């Protein structure tokens, strides 16, 4: 039964996982480029974007978990 709720939760929040993975890949790519020291502003910008998106991702997951909790109980 718990696996059903886990699958339901994962499928409910899946659209928010994909852009988060893209942001992580972008952040990793810009981190590699930052070793050249030509892309320091892009590196800083990728940090800002990553943290903003991570914060919004956490909020979206908390809200979806709350609605899932209401759905179950």
Task: Render pLDDT for 27-46 as a digit per residue (tens, 0 to 9).
Answer: 667 666 666 555 567 667 77
Q: Which pLDDT value is given to residue 21?
A: 63
Mean pLDDT value of segment 56-67: 74
Q: In terms of pTM, does the model score above 0.85?
A: no
Domain that holds residue 57: 2-72
Give how many domains the chain has, as a whole number.
Answer: 1
Instruction: Single out the residue of 15, 39, 12, 11 nearest to residue 27, CA to CA.
Output: 39
Given a cut of 60, whether residue 1 has pLDDT beyond it is no
Nearest to 31 by CA among 42, 20, 22, 23: 42
State how far the alpha carbon of 56 is from the alpha carbons of 5, 16, 38, 59, 69, in Å: 23, 10, 29, 5, 20
What is the rounded CA–CA span in Å between residue 17 and residue 20? 5
């Amino acid at each position: 039964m718990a696996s059903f709720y886990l699958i339901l939760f994962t499928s409910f929040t899946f659209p928010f996982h994909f852009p988060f993975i893209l942001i992580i890949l972008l952040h990793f790519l810009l981190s590699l480029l930052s070793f050249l020291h030509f892309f320091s502003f892009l590196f800083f910008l990728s940090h800002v974007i990553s943290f903003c998106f991570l914060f919004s991702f956490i909020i979206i997951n908390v809200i979806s978990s709350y609605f899932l909790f209401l759905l179950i109980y």
